[in-house]
Amino acid sequence: MLLAISVAAAGPWVKSPGEAYVKASANVFRATEYVAPGVETSDLEYLGLTSSVYAEAGIAEGVQLVASVPWVSGRNLDTATGWAHRTSGFGDLRAGIGLDVPKLELPASLSVIARVPLYDQSELEELSPQIGDENVDLDAIAAVGGALPAGDHWIWLAAETGLRWRTGLSPSGADLDLDPGLPYRVQVGLAPRWGGWISVQGSGLVNLGSGADSKSWHQLGAGVAAPLVRGLHAEVGGARTYAAELSSLGWSAEAGLSWKR
């Protein structure tokens, strides 16, 4: 059961060799306050759709690979003129490795994840939505978790944090001067005896500097998974980005299918 707990972020439960978790999903995000560096945004309404595939796979004892590939379609609606500005393309590839920490009594892992933009925004028009911030990042993440029986059910807690090194490299060759960040995620969930799971979580990115182009954001979310057939689950969830700097505030909703082996 615990090996199925995943929200597109490697957690403390490292897959054993031959075990895997794969999720295909679609996420819609509507900004209630749109922000982009250097762009006048008072008359813009942003709507984004992201389709993605996320996977975790155990390749050796205490070692797993993690990867995700998104396709992003965004629209900026200029409410003053009625013009819609659209952008679409592959987003940020995330790929890395997770290692179990066997000497701790609780499940724990150390992961290194690279985020590589698969797009070049150098030719975008001013009011066209950006796919991302076009920066290569490296995350070093430590995660810890645990689970307790509650009658015939299970309750779990997982937490992770680390350091995001913002390299300044980009596909367009732009010289980006971005501050490091502290990504975090805390999740509490319930796994009923009949299968599936319910979870709530807080996550975000804390900016560790004062650079003019460095983003930060914080959100709260919840999700539900229901078993369909053996190993296959339907997942739905939603989140609210309630605080941010140089990033949009808004609501998101997600639906997907996941499979675990």
**What pLDDT shows up at residue 183?**
95
Q: Model confidence over 40-79: pLDDT tens digits? A: 556 788 999 999 999 999 999 999 999 999 999 999 998 8
With a CB cutoff of 8 Å and minimum separation 6, the contacts of 103 are none
Nearest to 33 by CA among 41, 25, 24, 21: 41
Total domains in the chain come to: 1
What pTM was computed for the model?
0.89
Q: Model confidence over 162-216: pLDDT tens digits? A: 999 988 888 777 667 788 999 999 999 999 988 889 999 999 999 998 766 678 8
With a CB cutoff of 8 Å and minimum separation 6, the contacts of 151 are none
Structural domain of residue 239, as residue ranges?
Answer: 2-260
CATH code of residue 54? 2.40.160.40
Is the pLDDT at 6 greater than 50? The verdict is no
- Alpha carbons 149 and 18: distance in angstroms, whole number: 26
Would the CA dihedral through 106, 197, 7, 199 be positive or negative? Answer: negative
Nearest to 183 by CA among 252, 137, 238, 250: 137
Q: What are phi and psi of 104, to 5 degrees?
A: -85, 145
Tokens 């003019």 locate to 212
Secondary structure of residue 2 in the 3-state scheme: helix
- Alpha carbons 121 and 116: distance in angstroms, whole number: 14
Confidence of residue 81 (pLDDT cuts 50, 70, 90): confident
